[in-house]
Amino acid sequence: MTSINQTSIWIKNPLAIFAENSDGGVVIKGQKIIELVPLGGSPVSSFDEIYDASDSVVLPGLINTHHHFYQTLTRAYPEALNKELFPWLKSLYKVWAHIQPEMLAVSTELALSELLLSGCTTASDHHYLFPSQLENAIDIQAEEAQKLGMRVVLTRGSMSLGEKDGGLPPQSVVQTKEQILSDSERLIKTYHDSQEGAMTQIALAPCSPFSVTTDLMIETASLAQQYDVRLHTHLAETIDEENFCLEKFGLRTVDYLESVGWLSNRTWLAHGIHFNKEEIKKLGRSGVGICHCPSSNMMLASGICHSLELEEAGSIIGLGVDGSASNDGSNMIAELRQAMYLQRLRYGASKITHQKAYNWATKGSAALLGRNDIGEISIGKQADMALFKLDELRFSGSHDSLAALLLCGAQKSDRVMIAGQWKVVDGKIIGKDESELISRHSGAAKKLRQLANA
Ligand SMILES: [Zn+2]
C-alpha cells in the first residue's frame, strides 16, 4: 500500500447526493468511504484534500450487470436492423464468428470507456463467443479492464448447442462441454478475487436455453458451487425462447431452469420478461435476481419486465445496458432513465420514482453480483462514485437536482472515482485519447464487416 493510496479527501457540500445523512459530503480514505458529513457539518476525521462538490450531483458508482462488449463492433448493423431476437441473432452470429483478438481488445476498451464516462464504476460482461481464434477472450478482457482500472465481473459465457443439434448458433461458434468447463475452472483460478474490494471477478454464464446443452447447464451449476462463484444466463427474453423450451425440453423456461439446478440466490438472469405468476413466486422464493435491460427490450420488441411483482416475490432487480448491438449504446446513466420510463408504462409514475431507478442501478445491481462492498455511499464501502454537473442547456431551469439528472436526460459524468482514485476528471478519462480510441475501434469494426462479407 503506497502513501498515495491512503490520501484522505473530503468531497464537500454536494449540490445533491444519493445517500443518507451526507448532505455535507463524504470523506474518503484510501479506497474506502470513512465518514458521512451531515448538512452544514465538518468532518470529524482529518483530511488531506477538499474537493468542492457544490455544483455536482453525487451518486454511488453505477453498476452495469449485463453487457456484451464485443457487440460495439456491430452497432446499427445493416443486416440486423428492424428484427426481433432470433432473426437478429441469426444475422449476427456469422459476423461475430470472425472477431479477432485485437478486435475484442479494442471493443472491450471502448465499451468500458463509454460506461465509465456515463458514471459506471463496475461492469459485468457476458462473453459467450469462443471461435478458435478467440479462446483467450476472457484473458483479453481482464487485461483491458485492469488497464482502465475498472471493477469488472467477467462472466465466462458459453455455447454448446449448435444448429446441427437443434440450437440456434452455427457450429463455428460452439465449443464442447469439456472445453468450456476446463476453461471456466482455469479462469476462476487465474482471475477470481473473492475478497472485499475485488477489482476482477469471474462468474459462469452459459448463454441461453437455445444455445446450451442441458448437461452443460447442470455441470456449470456444480462448478459454480464448488468455487463459490455466481451464475448468469439469459432467460425469458422472448416468446420465441419460451416456445423453443416447450418444444425442445417440454418445459417452460423457469421449469427448465429448475430442472438444471439453477434456482438459487447464486443466479442472476438477464431480461426475465415472460414469467407467469407462479414462476415469479418461484423465482422470488429462490432468491434469483433479475437484470432489467430496458433499451434492448424495446429495441428488439421483446417485452417489459415485471419488476415490481418480482421484487415483491423476493427477487432483486438490477440494471444492464445489454450488448451494444441491441442498445446500441453503453450509457449507464441514460439506461436509468429508460428503466424508469419503461417501467412507468407498466406500473404508473407514482410507483416508479427516480430514487427507485437509482436503487436498481446501485444497490440492486451490486446484490446481483453478490457484492456488499459497493453500490452504496455509506461508511466502510468502497469509494466508487459518479459526479455529474448540471451545466448543460438541458438542465437549465430544473429545481430538484437528483430528479433532474434523470428527467432532463444526463449523458455524461464530470468526475468518476473508483476505489478512491479519480478515473474521470472534467468529463475525460485520465490518460485516454478518445479520438484515437474511436479511430482504432471504428477501424476494427470496418475490418470485421469486410471479413464477414468476404
Ligand atoms: Zn444479452
Q: How far is the CA of 71 from the centre of ligand 1 (A)?
A: 10
Strand order in the sheet with 25-29: 32-37, 25-29, 8-12, 49-52
90 residue type, one letter: K
Q: Average pLDDT in the 82-108 region?
A: 96
Q: How far is the CA of 423 from the centre of ligand 1 (A)?
A: 27
Residues 392 and 425: their CA atoms lie apart, in Å, by 17
Distance of CA 166 to the CA centre of its chain: 30
Q: How far is the CA of 390 from the centre of ligand 1 (A)?
A: 32
Instruction: Provide the pLDDT for residue 2.
Output: 41
Q: How far is the CA of 302 from the centre of ligand 1 (A)?
A: 12
Cell output for 77: 448493423
Q: How far is the CA of 237 from the centre of ligand 1 (A)?
A: 9
Strand, coil or helix: 219: helix
Instruction: Provide the pLDDT for residue 1.
Output: 41
Confidence of residue 91 (pLDDT cuts 50, 70, 90): very high
Residues 5 and 16: their CA atoms lie apart, in Å, by 27
Confidence of residue 181 (pLDDT cuts 50, 70, 90): very high
311-353 pLDDT, tens per residue? 999 999 999 999 999 999 999 999 999 999 999 999 999 999 9
Q: How far is the CA of 233 from the centre of ligand 1 (A)?
A: 8
Q: How far is the CA of 273 from the centre of ligand 1 (A)?
A: 13
Q: How far is the CA of 66 from the centre of ligand 1 (A)?
A: 6
Q: Average pLDDT in the 120-132 region?
A: 97
Confidence of residue 405 (pLDDT cuts 50, 70, 90): very high
Instruction: Provide the pLDDT for residue 174.
Output: 94
Q: How far is the CA of 234 from the centre of ligand 1 (A)?
A: 6
> Phi-psi region for residue 400, left (φ > 0), alpha (ψ -120 to 50) or beta?
beta
CA-based nearest residue to 232, from 254, 214, 217? 217
Q: How far is the CA of 96 from the centre of ligand 1 (A)?
A: 14
Q: How far is the CA of 235 from the centre of ligand 1 (A)?
A: 10
Q: Average pLDDT in the 78-104 region?
A: 96
Distance of CA 70 to the CA centre of its chain: 14
Q: How far is the CA of 270 from the centre of ligand 1 (A)?
A: 6
Question: Residue 3: pLDDT above 70?
Answer: no
Confirm whether pTM is higher than 0.85: yes
Question: Residue 31: pLDDT above 50?
Answer: yes
Q: How far is the CA of 407 from the centre of ligand 1 (A)?
A: 26
Q: Average pLDDT in the 108-128 region?
A: 98
Q: How far is the CA of 377 from the centre of ligand 1 (A)?
A: 29
Q: How far is the CA of 327 from the centre of ligand 1 (A)?
A: 10
60-83 pLDDT, tens per residue? 999 999 999 999 999 999 999 999
**Using N-to-C axis directions, what is the helix angle for 434-453 and 101-117, rounded to 10°?**
140
Q: Average pLDDT in the 274-282 region?
A: 98
Q: How far is the CA of 287 from the centre of ligand 1 (A)?
A: 21
Q: How far is the CA of 323 from the centre of ligand 1 (A)?
A: 6
Instruction: Compute the C-alpha angle 165/168/169, nearest 5°.
Output: 95
Cβ neighbours, 10 Å, residue 351: 12
Instruction: Compute the C-alpha angle 406/26/412, nearest 5°.
Output: 30
Instruction: Compute the C-alpha angle 369/149/147, nearest 5°.
Output: 120
Cell output for 83: 428484427
Instruction: Provide the pLDDT for residue 176.
Output: 96
Residues 315 and 297: beta-carbon distance below 8 Å: no
Question: Residue 421: pLDDT above 70?
Answer: yes
Q: How far is the CA of 322 from the centre of ligand 1 (A)?
A: 5
Quote the mean pLDDT of the chain. Answer: 97
Helices (H) and strands (E) in the chain, counts: 15, 18
149-174 pLDDT, tens per residue? 999 999 999 999 999 999 999 998 99
Residues with CB under 5 A from ligand 1 (ion): 270, 322
Instruction: Provide the pLDDT for residue 399.
Output: 98
Q: How far is the CA of 123 from the centre of ligand 1 (A)?
A: 13
Q: Which long-range contacts (CB under 8 A, 24 or more apart) does 298-302 make?
A: 298/338, 298/342, 299/326, 299/327, 299/328, 300/83, 300/84, 300/85, 300/88, 300/238, 300/326, 301/84, 302/84, 302/85, 302/237, 302/238, 302/271, 302/273
Q: How far is the CA of 398 from the centre of ligand 1 (A)?
A: 35
Instruction: Provide the pLDDT for residue 248.
Output: 93
188-199 pLDDT, tens per residue? 999 999 999 999
Instruction: Provide the pLDDT for residue 246.
Output: 96
Q: How far is the CA of 5 from the centre of ligand 1 (A)?
A: 36
Q: How far is the CA of 4 from the centre of ligand 1 (A)?
A: 39
The two beta strands, 385-389 and 32-37, are unpaired
